[in-house]
Amino acid sequence: MPFRSFRRRAALVAVVALPCYVAALWAEVPSGVAATVDGRSIPRRLVEAFLRNGREALALDPASAAGRETLGKLRAAIIDELVERSLIAAEAERRGLAPTAAQIDASERRVVDFHGGEERYGRFLSYNGFTRDEYRESVLAAALRGEALTAALTRDLMVSEDEAKVYYEAHQKDAEFQWPERVTGSHIQINAKPGVIVSQLEIDRPGLRRNTPEMKAAMDAEIARKRQVAEDLRAQALRPGADFAALAARHSEDLGTKSAGGSLGTFPMGTHPQALDGAFFGTAAGQVGPLVETDFGFHVIRTEARLPAGPRTLAEATPIIRGVLLRAKKAEALRAWLKDALAKAKVEVRPWDDAPKPEG
C-alpha cells in the first residue's frame, strides 16, 4: 500500500522488514493493548516489536530529543499500519480468504532461511516476545491475508492500450525505456571445466589421483584436445557458405542453446562473461569472431547483428508500462478501500504511557 509521509515510510521499514537477531536493548517489553479495531485488539507488545525493528533499521537514539520525537512518530505510524492490517484481516476472513497452513508454512520457511536456520529464528522470536504460533498468526498469516485481499479487490483491473500509449508518450525518454547498445549472437560451446574434467578422468582412468602431476598432465592434455575441437569448428564456421546454426545444433555442448542453433538472442554488454561479451561486441555483424575461453570452456562465436542504443518501441515498452500502471491501480484500489473501511470502523487508540494491562 502507498505511504504518504515519513510516518508511513518508517512504518514500512518497521513492519515489513524481517530483521536479523540483535542483542536486546530494552530489557522488558510492556504488555497490554495498544488499540482496538471493531473490538479486535492490537497487542502493545506487537507494536513494541515492530518499533524495535524500526529503531534498529533507522539507527534512532532514544536518549536524544530528536530520537525520542522520531520514535513517537514511528510508533504512531506503526499503530496506523496495524489498524489497517486488522481491517484487512477482518475483511479477508469475511470473504473466506484465510491462508492455508501450507501457505503459512512456506512463508515461515523463507523467514527461517532469512535468519540462517531454526536456532537463530528462535532467538529472533524470543527477542521480539513472540511464540512461534503468535508470529505465524500476527505476522505471516496477516501478510498472506493482505495479499489475498489485494488480489480479490484488484482482479478485474486492466491497463488499456490507450493508457499504455499515453504513458509511453510521456515517459519514453526515461532511462527504463532506453535500450543500450546490443548485439544478437550465437555460439558453439565445447565444455572444458577443469573440475568436471578431473572427475571424468577419475572415472575413465581409475589409476589417476587428484592433485598429482599425472592428473595435471592428463587434464592439460584433455583441455588442449577440447581447444583443438573448438578451433576445428571455428575453421568450419569460417568457410564460405557455412551454416553456423547447423554446426551449433550438431556439435555444441551448451544444452540450453544447442536446439536453437546456438542462439543467445539479443543482449547488452554485461550479460555473459566479460571475455565472451567482449568478443561479440568486438565482431562485425555477420562475422565469426575469435575463439573465446571462459570458465565454461571454449566458444566459437558469431555476431549476427548489432543494434545501436535508442528508445524502446511502444510494443517493447508496453509490458513494462502495464506493470507500472497496474501496480499503481492496485495501490489506489486498496487505498480507496482502506479509506472507506476506516470511515466505518470503530478504532480506539489507547494512550501509550498508561495502556491498560490485560485482565487476569
pLDDT in tens, 133-150: 988 988 899 889 888 998
Phi and psi dihedrals of 33, rounded to 5? -115, 125
CB 299 within 8 A of CB 276: yes
pLDDT number for residue 95: 92
pLDDT band with cut points at 50, 70 and 90 for residue 6: very low
User: Residue 165 domain-assigned?
Assistant: no
Q: State whether 12 and 154 are in the same domain.
A: yes
Q: State whether 213 and 341 are in the same domain.
A: no
What string of DSSP letters covers 225-283?
A: HHHHHHHHHHHHHTSTT--HHHHHHHH---TTTGGGTTEEEEEETTSS-HHHHHHHHTS
User: Residue 359 domain-assigned?
Assistant: no
- Residue 138 is classified by DSSP as I
pLDDT in tens, 109-134: 999 999 889 999 999 888 877 889 98
CB within 8 Å of 98: residues ≥ 6 apart? 92, 141, 145
H-state helical runs in the chain: 6-16, 44-58, 65-94, 101-115, 118-127, 132-135, 142-154, 161-171, 194-204, 213-237, 244-251, 274-281, 314-344
pLDDT in tens, 331-354: 999 999 999 999 999 999 998 874
In DSSP terms, 293 is beta-bridged to 298
Average pLDDT in the 57-73 region?
Answer: 90
Q: State whether 283 and 337 are in the same domain.
A: no
How many structural domains does the chain have?
2
pLDDT number for residue 56: 82
pTM confidence score: 0.57
pLDDT in tens, 249-301: 999 999 999 999 999 999 999 999 999 999 999 999 999 999 999 999 999 99
Does position 31 have pLDDT exceeding 80, yes or no?
no
User: Residue 174 domain-assigned?
Assistant: no
pLDDT in tens, 299-328: 999 999 999 999 999 999 999 999 999 999
Mutual angle of helices 194-204 and 213-237, in 10-degree steps: 110
Does position 8 have pLDDT exceeding 50, yes or no?
no
Please tell me whether residue 289 adopts helix, strand or coil conformation: coil
Q: Which domain holds residue 244?
A: 181-308
CATH number of the domain that 40 lies in?
1.10.4030.10
Least confident range from 25-34, 82-91, 196-205, 227-236: namely 25-34
Does position 37 have pLDDT exceeding 90, yes or no?
yes
Q: State whether 17 and 103 are in the same domain.
A: yes
Q: State whether 11 and 144 are in the same domain.
A: yes
Which range of 8-12, 154-158, 285-289 scores highest in mean pLDDT? It is: 285-289
pLDDT number for residue 2: 34
CA atoms within 13 A on the CB side of 72: 10
Q: State whether 31 and 144 are in the same domain.
A: yes
Q: What percent of the chain has pLDDT over 90?
A: 66
User: Residue 163 domain-assigned?
Assistant: no
Average pLDDT in the 216-225 region?
Answer: 95
pLDDT number for residue 29: 36
User: Residue 210 domain-assigned?
Assistant: yes
CATH number of the domain that 225 lies in?
3.10.50.40
H-state helical runs in 20-64: 44-58
Q: Mean pLDDT, the chain, as a whole number?
A: 87
Average pLDDT in the 171-185 region?
Answer: 93
pLDDT number for residue 19: 36
